[in-house]
Amino acid sequence: MSEYIRMVSYFYRYQNGGKQENVGFGKVEGHNGKCRITLKLNDTRGVLGQSGEVYFYRYKQGDMYLYPLGEAAFNNNMLQFRDEFLEEAYTQDGHDLKELSGLLVYYNEQLFYGSQWSEEPIYVGDLVRARTALLNERKADSFKLREAQEVDIPEQKEYTEKQKEKRMEIKPESLEGSSREEMLKAAGEGEGTEIREQERVAASAVREETSKKLTGIPYLLKHRSPLPAFANNEVMQCVRIMPEDIGLMSRSNWEYGNNSFLMHGFYNYHYLLLGSMVYEDGARQYVLGVPGIYSGKDQYLAQIFGFRRFVPLRTCPFKTGEFGYWIAKLSK
C-alpha cells in the first residue's frame, strides 16, 4: 500500500467478561507495505511475571479471527509492546489493515485487554472460540512440520544398528541344540571358560562404571564447548551440544532425540544448548535449549513440542524478533 494508515484506540481491561476501566492505548501505522504496532498499558492490577498473548483480531460474518503478534508482560505495572513487520503477513486472506477490528492482550478467559477500531463489541465467548480454533490450526501445522522433517532427520539409529549387527556375529540357528559350554567355546572361550566368564563379568562392571563417568549431564557440561553467557544470567553453565549428545543423558530425556522442533532449530543453527536455570520455586533445573528468533507462530509450535519458555540472549523490553533459546526442562 502507498497510503499512510494510522489507527489509535484505547485499551480497556476485561474482567470476567465485563468491560472495565481504560488502561492505555494501542497504535497501528502502515505505509509502503510496512506496519508498525505500539502498545502501552498501565494497570496496577496487571499480572506480573507472566506474559500475555498479543493479537490482532477481526470480525468477519459474525465470527472472530485472531492473528498472533507475540507476547508482552507487565513490568512495574507497565506493559509495552512494539513490533514492525510487512503488511502482507496479515493480509493474505483478502483484507487490509483497515478491516482489522482491533488489538488484544490475552491472559485467560477471566482477564484480557482489548481495543476496538469498530463498533463491534468484544465478547469473551467469541475470543475463546477464536483462540481454540487458532491453537487447533497451529497444532495441525506442527503435524505437517513433523511429517516434512521425518524425511530429513539424519539416521540417528545407525550407530545402534551397527552395534546390533556386531552382536549378531553368531547366528541364532547355529546355536540350536548347543550346550552352554559349546556356546562359550563357539564364542572363542576354549578351556577355563568359567574363569574367563568371571573376568568378563568383572570387566563389564568396570566398563559400566567408566561409562557412567563419561556420560550424563554433568559430564557434558564439563566436556562440551561453552556458549556466550546470557545478559541476565537467567540460563547458566551454557554449553554447545549436538543431538547425539542426548543419548548420553538419562533415558527419560531420549525423547528429545526425535523431536521435530528441536531438529528444525538444529538444522538452522547447527547446535543446541545445555545449561541450567533457577525456576520460580527456587529449584535449579537442567534445561535443553533450541536456538531461534522469537515470533508468535514459533511460540505455538515450541509449546506443542515441549519447549514452553523462550529466553532471549540479551536484556530487551520486547521478545519479538530477538535471538534466544526455546527452553525445555530435562530429567537428571
Give the span between the Cα atoms of 322 and 202, in whole angstroms: 53
Give 261's contacts (C-beta < 8 A, 6+ positions apart). 142, 145, 290, 301, 302, 304, 305, 306, 307, 326
The total number of residues shown for the chain amounts to 332
> Helix (H, G, I), strand (E, B), or coil: what is residue 165?
helix
Per-domain boundaries in the chain: 5-148, 172-213, 217-329
Check residue 286 and report its DSSP letter: E
**How many angstroms separate the most distant Cα atoms in the chain?**
94
- In this structure, are residues 258 and 154 in contact, taking their beta carbons and an 8 Å threshold? no
Is 162 exposed, middle or buried (CB count within 10 Å of its CB: 0-12, 13-18, 19+)? Answer: exposed
Distance separating the N- and C-terminal Cα atoms of the chain: 54
- In this structure, are residues 213 and 201 in contact, taking their beta carbons and an 8 Å threshold? no
Check residue 248 and give left, alpha or beta (phi > 0: left; psi -120 to 50: alpha): alpha
Block residue for cell numbers 533415558: 251
| Torsion of Cα atoms, 86 then 143 then 305 then 332, to 10° | -150
pLDDT along the chain (332 residues), means of 10: 80 93 92 85 87 88 85 88 70 66 92 87 90 79 52 44 48 46 50 60 53 70 84 84 91 90 90 88 86 88 90 84 91 82
How much is the pLDDT for 327? 94
- In this structure, are residues 111 and 14 in contact, taking their beta carbons and an 8 Å threshold? yes
Give the span between the Cα atoms of 247 and 215, in whole angstroms: 9
Give the span between the Cα atoms of 331 and 196, in whole angstroms: 38
Task: For domain 5-148, give its CATH number from 1.10.260, 2.60.40, 2.40.40, 1.10.287.
Answer: 2.60.40
Is the Cα torsion angle 37, 43, 46, 48 positive or negative in sign? Answer: positive
Give the span between the Cα atoms of 95 and 332, in whole angstroms: 50
C-alpha count within 13 angstroms, C-beta hemisphere, residue 45: 12
- In this structure, are residues 122 and 115 in contact, taking their beta carbons and an 8 Å threshold? no
Give 226's contacts (C-beta < 8 A, 6+ positions apart). 238, 239, 240
Distance from CA of residue 294 to its chain's centroid?
10
Would you state the cell numbers that stand for residue 302, as one nine-digit string? 515450541
- In this structure, are residues 180 and 281 in contact, taking their beta carbons and an 8 Å threshold? no
> Helix (H, G, I), strand (E, B), or coil: what is residue 85?
strand
Give the span between the Cα atoms of 133 and 300, in whole angstroms: 13
